[in-house]
Amino acid sequence: MPRASDPGGNAHDLTRITFRVLTIGLLLGGTLWVLRPFLGPTIWATMLVVASWRLMLRVQRLLWNRRLPAVLVMTLLLLLLFVVPLVLAIVTIVGNADRLVDWARLLATWRPPEHAPDWLRSLPMVGDLAEGMWEQLRAMGLDEILPRISPYAGDVTRWFVAEVGSMGMVLFQFLLTVAIAAVMYARGERAAAQVRRFAHRLGGARGEASAQLAADAIRGVALGVGVTAAVQSVVAGLGLALAGVPFAGLLTALMFMLCVANVGPLPVLVPAIGWAFWQGRTGWAVFLIVVAAVVTTLDNVLKPLLIKLGADLPLLLIFAGVVGGLLAFGLIGIFAGPVILAVAYKLLDDWMSDDGAPAPDTPRSPPQRH
């Protein structure tokens, strides 16, 4: 016969459990709210440290196994990779403001030549259309085009001012990321041990394996994206320097950032090709077209191979994680996307492999007689 106090006891336990869950949820929400300004830099710092941890250990071995000099070296490398290009870009724009104004005035008075260039007319399938548009552009002139686009100038100006105004915040975020990464370099083993303890508490041995897989995915994506971006920007930058394009160093740094963001170097190379044709340097323009084709091919060939080398995962899974993560979460999604898909793939594969059936060679115990 059930006791009379059982229903009340069950209700009491349910209420206590509910309040425990609510309390934990409020604590987690409050913690995230307090740490909200640091979440982005912390995530970026974690990705950078995990991706370059082996490099830091090699630097430490070269520096007599001392951690502090290795941390200083890695911090300086991060500053050179992320902060210095941004500062150089700002300084270059500010230092060449007068030249940019002169270029704008020259563009306002420029008229295209009377006849379209031979290379434009000889383009297959679109040569006649391009020549017709050239004639219309020359007949209209920039003095008539500028009034037509002037209504949009206000929006562009406001956007540009807002972007320039946010440069200081972007620089602060980069510096904060580098500072957090330096702390993680100094205490990396302790942080890794805490992550493994949490993963083991959450999922046992499979949880630890998933944490290791996440680290491998981060390292593989960083290897593929970072090395590919460096190779692309160096090759394209050498092409710009050989072709005599102005500000080749600044454009190379810009291409590196665009390649890291999975945009590619074409937003810089295409205007450079147009500038070479405009200057009448057709040979160098064709050379830059070849350079653009080579660096684009490198992105499609070198990056998947390097990512596959760093993380033993299906190539389609990695590609979907990089592209889908970029579209879903922005730039940080380049690393978060493959990590999420890799952990989910590992857990699903383990679950399908473990059907809970007894092993076929397990002997069964004989029935006991009573």
pLDDT in tens, 9-64: 555 688 888 999 999 999 999 999 998 888 888 888 888 898 889 899 999 999 99
| Cα–Cα distance for residue pair 338/74, rounded to 1 Å | 25
320 and 293 assigned to the same domain: yes
Exposed e or buried b per residue across 123-145, where buried means at least 16 C-beta atoms within 10 angstroms of its C-beta: eeeeeeebbeebeeeeeeeeeee
pLDDT at res. 79: 86
What interhelical angle do 282-310 and 266-278 show, nearest 10?
170
pLDDT at res. 114: 65
Whether 277 maps to a domain, the answer reads yes
103 and 134 assigned to the same domain: yes
205 and 330 assigned to the same domain: yes
Q: Is the pLDDT of residue 73 over 90?
A: yes
* Mean pLDDT score, 99-103: 61
| Cα–Cα distance for residue pair 336/320, rounded to 1 Å | 12
Range of the domain at 262: 190-352
Residue of higher predicted confidence among 269 and 10: 269
| Count of domains for the chain | 2
- pLDDT band at residue 315 using 50, 70 and 90 as cut-offs: confident
Residue of higher predicted confidence among 8 and 46: 46
Whether 339 maps to a domain, the answer reads yes
197 and 344 assigned to the same domain: yes
Whether 158 maps to a domain, the answer reads no
182 and 212 assigned to the same domain: no
Non-local CB neighbours of 143 within 8 Å, separated by 6+ positions: 108
pLDDT at res. 96: 63
262 and 128 assigned to the same domain: no
pLDDT at res. 185: 93
Helix (H) or strand (E) holding 109: none
| Cα–Cα distance for residue pair 232/297, rounded to 1 Å | 10
pTM of this prediction exceeds 0.85: no
Average pLDDT, the chain: 77
208 and 177 assigned to the same domain: no
pLDDT at res. 364: 47
pLDDT at res. 147: 56
pLDDT at res. 320: 82
pLDDT at res. 363: 47
* Mean pLDDT score, 91-117: 61
Whether 302 maps to a domain, the answer reads yes
Whether 80 maps to a domain, the answer reads yes
Q: Is the pLDDT of residue 150 over 60?
A: no
Whether 32 maps to a domain, the answer reads no
CA 31 to chain centre: 26
pLDDT at res. 367: 46
Closest CA to 182 of 64, 34, 38, 73: 73
232 and 176 assigned to the same domain: no
247 and 172 assigned to the same domain: no
pLDDT at res. 161: 47
Residue of higher predicted confidence among 89 and 48: 48
pLDDT at res. 166: 53
CB 251 within 8 Å of CB 292: no
- pLDDT band at residue 65 using 50, 70 and 90 as cut-offs: very high
Q: Is the pLDDT of residue 132 over 60?
A: yes
pLDDT at res. 30: 94
Residue of higher predicted confidence among 280 and 83: 280
172 and 102 assigned to the same domain: yes
Closest CA to 50 of 276, 202, 266, 222: 222
Whether 23 maps to a domain, the answer reads no
Lowest mean pLDDT among 165-169, 245-249, 306-310, 358-362: 358-362
171 and 203 assigned to the same domain: no
235 and 345 assigned to the same domain: yes
Whether 29 maps to a domain, the answer reads no
* Mean pLDDT score, 193-211: 86
Lowest mean pLDDT among 33-42, 63-72, 99-108, 349-358: 99-108
